[in-house]
Structure 1
Amino acid sequence: MALVVNLEKATQALVLNLQKAGVVKPPELEVGFAIDVSGSFEDEHRDGVTNDLLTRLIPWGLAFDPDKKVDCFTFSNGASHVENVCPINADNYQGFVKKHIIGKVNGWNGGTDYSYVLERMLAHFGWTQIVERASVIGRFFGKKDKVVQSGQKRRSLVIVITDGENSDRARTLDVLRASQERRDEVYFLFIGVSNQGGSFPFLEQLGDEFDNTGFVGIDNLRAFVALSDDELNIRFISEELITWLKS
């Protein structure tokens, strides 16, 4: 059965938790989700439990995002398997993964790379630009490479949901290092999901190494999405994130 929450109450709880942590008023931020659609994550998507996690995260968009929508990207391995799906909001979050993601996005059941979706979202929020290469078949039909950039720079919170084990560690480090050196106003929050008690040493490394990157590990997703608003928010609200929000 799909999880249904009182979004207004959950958003008010998040604002109160932020106030207790020192953020008197949530700043305006664009909020984006990057959702891993690799093969190893399929069961969680089909069981509806990742949709439940998105449901619990919608209040972050409602609290911060001026248009009350959360941009949603999916990713697996390679640049061509990053897809801008559609925004998630209070009206369409129920069954979102089933309706818009499972078996429908490029890269469904692929591998896992982080760097390409991070680049795409940095471009989407205006902090850099990337060249989207046309495929060989696309070139045959006259398609050309195109530059992707949204134009206006927008302060942003990017939440990456993954079950880990990526194959592009060096490239991911390069992308995050370049972003930090440019002083992009983007905070990356990686959520590592493992229902088998696995660990996430690389994601922990990212959280330790970069001032604009955090990590939260979840070892039982069903139990996690059943937490109270306060219990769940405390897991996400770190000192580093509070410092970034107040800067």
Structure 2
Amino acid sequence: MSLYDRLAGRADAPAVSLPSSSPLTWPAAGLDVGTDLRGAQVALLHWLQQGGITTPPVLDLVVALDVSASFEDEHRAGVTNDLLVRLVPWGLTFDRNRSLELITFSSGAASAHLVGSLTAENCRGFVSREVVARVPGWCGATDYSHPIERALRHGGWLAADATEDGAARPGLFGRLFGGRPSAAAAAEADGARAGLRRPLLVLFITDGDNQDKIRARAVLRASQQRRDAVYFLFLGVSNQGSRFPFLEAIGAEFDNTGFVAVDDLRAFVRLSHEALNERLIGPELLRWLRQPG
């Protein structure tokens, strides 16, 4: 019996437990309607089943979130947190730890920062609590290559102490101030040293064009040539009229890279479960999910 059948409530299905410390339904900050974890997960599983996936693959799921200056208003207003809440069922469905690992970024290698795990229990107010004016590179410019590399290191596809161009990687932000790396960062480094390579899905959320097009394309090309079991889904948020010709180009160029344009983020986070899945899960991602390894 599939996970979809169990969550959908078939009479002969064993119970499926969701985190007991969080309700199945809650009003996410800024949303007019509640977000139903069980309903969202059932809808996601149904969409996958329609695409020929009866058993979701076990992955590492990473969200890379732009914290450049042009995205500040959406972060402070809670709209990006609403988007992360809508993605929590993806973590419950795919991720081996039933969570999303959040990487924030702006410009430069030091800005690509592993914040930690976002879960059903802690997702309410996560951005205001853990991100706004707290992460390295807050309100900077925009580079894509460094968070892509950080995600690849998290999945074990890139060595922990090097970048794609062979340069030494800067020390972790915490070390600059004499502190210890976070538990998530330490686990990432341990996995990379052990040579662990896990299928990886990266949801990359940005509202602006990048300054490092040549380097970002080189990082993606190297990953594809290595045949990394990684898929990058870029969400280009154009609340302020931004266009994304580079993301459109790499989405067409690389087999493991997709692009979704989001013209109105506030409307996007209010989409029905079915409409959200339709926007995010295209034929290319479905093909990858059938054989992510």
1:204 aligns with 2:234: no
> Per-residue displacement from partner, 1:163-207 (whole Å, max 9, x unpaired)?
021100000000000000000001000001011343211111111
Select which of 266, 269, 287 maps to 1:222.
266
* Paired position in structure 2 for 1:91: 121
* Paired position in structure 2 for 1:180: 224
Answer with 1 or 2: which has the greater Rg: 2
* Paired position in structure 2 for 1:233: 277
* Paired position in structure 1 for 2:170: 133
- Preserved contact between residue 75 and residue 83 of structure 1 (Cα < 8 Å): yes
1:78 aligns with 2:108: yes
- Preserved contact between residue 38 and residue 76 of structure 1 (Cα < 8 Å): yes
- Preserved contact between residue 157 and residue 186 of structure 1 (Cα < 8 Å): yes
* Paired position in structure 2 for 1:110: 140
The alignment yields a C-alpha RMSD, in angstroms, of: 2.1
Give the secondary structure class of the aligned counterpart of 2:117. coil
* Paired position in structure 2 for 1:62: 92
One-letter amino acid of the counterpart of residue 30, structure 2 = A
**Runs of 5+ consecutive residues of structure 1 not aligned to the other structure:** none
Give the secondary structure class of the aligned counterpart of 2:219. helix
- Preserved contact between residue 72 and residue 85 of structure 1 (Cα < 8 Å): yes
Select which of 40, 51, 61 maps to 1:21.
51
CA distance in 2, matches of 1:140, 1:245: 40
Change in 2 beyond 3 A, CA 1:71/1:140: closer
1:39 aligns with 2:83: no
> Following TM superposition, by how much is the alpha carbon of 1:15 offset from its aligned partner in structure 2, in angstroms?
0.6
Q: TM-score, normalised by structure 1?
A: 0.93
CA distance in 1, matches of 2:287, 2:177: 50
- Preserved contact between residue 82 and residue 117 of structure 1 (Cα < 8 Å): yes
Give the secondary structure class of the aligned counterpart of 2:118. coil
CA distance in 2, matches of 1:46, 1:207: 29
- Preserved contact between residue 34 and residue 161 of structure 1 (Cα < 8 Å): yes
CA distance in 2, matches of 1:10, 1:140: 41
Between the two proteins, the alignment pairs up a number of residues equal to 242
> Following TM superposition, by how much is the alpha carbon of 1:54 offset from its aligned partner in structure 2, in angstroms?
0.7
> Per-residue displacement from partner, 1:97-140 (whole Å, max 9, x unpaired)?
000000000000001000011011101110111243249xx799
1:10 aligns with 2:40: yes
**Runs of 5+ consecutive residues of structure 2 not aligned to the other structure:** 1-28, 163-167, 181-187
CA distance in 2, matches of 1:68, 1:117: 22
Deviates more, 1:99-108 or 1:123-132: 123-132
Q: TM-score, normalised by structure 2?
A: 0.78
Change in 2 beyond 3 A, CA 1:92/1:201: same
Change in 2 beyond 3 A, CA 1:80/1:17: same
> Following TM superposition, by how much is the alpha carbon of 1:89 offset from its aligned partner in structure 2, in angstroms?
0.4
